[in-house]
């Protein structure tokens, strides 16, 4: 049986890459982080949602006022 071993140069290169990776952990550049000014919903959709919620609450208030408060 012939077992092929890893060359010393290849092993040293892998160890060096691993050590470099260890020292870089946690050092995330600022450009990759989220800024917070980007909304997941567009302003038009947000406006429509507010219109529907506020409109339905106003409609409910008017309906309960015209029926005498008995819902």
At residue 21, the pLDDT reads 75
Residue 53 token pair: 């919620």
Tell whether 47 is covered by a domain: yes
Which range marks the domain in which residue 63 is found?
Answer: 43-71
Tell whether 70 is covered by a domain: yes
Tell whether 18 is covered by a domain: no
Tell whether 20 is covered by a domain: no
Residue range 16-68, pLDDT digits in tens:
888 877 766 666 666 655 556 667 888 899 999 999 999 999 999 999 998 87
Q: How many domains does the chain have?
A: 1
Q: Collapse the DSSP code of 34 into the 3-class scheme (helix H, G, I; strand E, B; otherwise coil) and give the result.
A: coil
At residue 57, the pLDDT reads 94
pTM above 0.95, yes or no: no
Q: Which residues contact 64 (CB under 8 A, 6 or more apart)?
A: 71
């Amino acid at each position: 049986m012939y077992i092929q071993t890893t060359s010393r140069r290849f092993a040293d290169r892998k160890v060096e890459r691993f050590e470099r990776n260890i020292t870089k952990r946690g050092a995330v550049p600022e450009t990759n982080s989220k800024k917070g000014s980007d909304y997941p919903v567009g302003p038009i959709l947000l406006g429509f949602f507010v219109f529907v919620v506020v409109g339905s609450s106003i409609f409910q208030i008017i309906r309960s006022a015209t029926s005498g408060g008995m819902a």
